[in-house]
Amino acid sequence: MSDFNDIPITDDGIKLGQFLKLADLVESGAEAKQVLSGGVVRVNGDVETRRGRQLERGDVVSLGAKSARVGGEREWS
């Protein structure tokens, strides 16, 4: 069972700071910078502090009890 949401992206990858906002794990870029510098963000289980870290589909980002996975393409309707 997965405890995370799949967050669709349209490109091949996305920067971690952008993904944190897209996945609603943080509300702003300033908050993303703060949590990253605090060492509380994990990517695939490893602590990550680089806002510019490039994520790929399938990567799982966790912040506290919340997690989100970089998913497939967004369906536009």
Which sequence spans correspond to the domains of the chain?
A: 5-68
State if pTM tops 0.75.
yes
Q: State residue 10's pLDDT score.
A: 87
Give the distance from CA 43 to its chain's centroid. Answer: 8
The DSSP secondary structure of 38-50, one letter per residue, reads TT-EEETTEE---
pLDDT in tens, 10-61: 888 999 999 999 999 999 999 999 999 999 999 999 999 999 999 999 999 9
**CATH fold for the domain made of 5-68:** 3.10.290
